[in-house]
Amino acid sequence: MNITTSRKDNECTLFIEGRIDTLTAPELEQVFAENAETCTKMIFDLSQTEYISSAGLRVILVAHREMEKKDGLVLKNLSKNVANIIKMTGFGKFVNIE
């Protein structure tokens, strides 16, 4: 997995490339935590994310709970695979998706 960060004012975007699974989810959680304090809005760009496991979903849940105290978390540009997983698990009912 490769994570690139971009910042515009207080809005942070994490571009996540590859798989978010048991091995890589801790890295995503760490990058999120490093940026969460100074960002009021967090965007996960998942256009290059091939797969997300339950470990990755847990990171999204943690990020959602933390960012809902601010301007929120947005999942953006979901790949078809990831969109199906988000839909099947019901995450689309409470996480903002663009």
pLDDT band at 15 (very low <50, low <70, confident <90, very high): very high
DSSP single-letter state for residue 78: -
pTM of the model: 0.93
Q: What pLDDT, on a 0 to 100 scale, did the predictor assign at position 35?
A: 95
- Give 59-89 pLDDT, tens digit per residue: 999 999 999 999 999 999 999 999 999 999 9
Q: What pLDDT, on a 0 to 100 scale, did the predictor assign at position 76?
A: 97
29-67 per-residue burial string, b: 16 or more CB within 10 A, e: under 16:
bebbeebbeebebbbbbbeebeebeebbbebbebbbeeb
CB atoms within 10 A of CB 6: 11
- Give 33-51 pLDDT, tens digit per residue: 999 999 999 999 999 999 9
pLDDT band at 29 (very low <50, low <70, confident <90, very high): very high
Q: What pLDDT, on a 0 to 100 scale, did the predictor assign at position 17?
A: 97
- For domain 2-97, give the fold: Transcription Regulator spoIIAA (3.30.750)
What are the start-end ranges of the H helices in the chain? Answer: 25-36, 54-67, 80-89
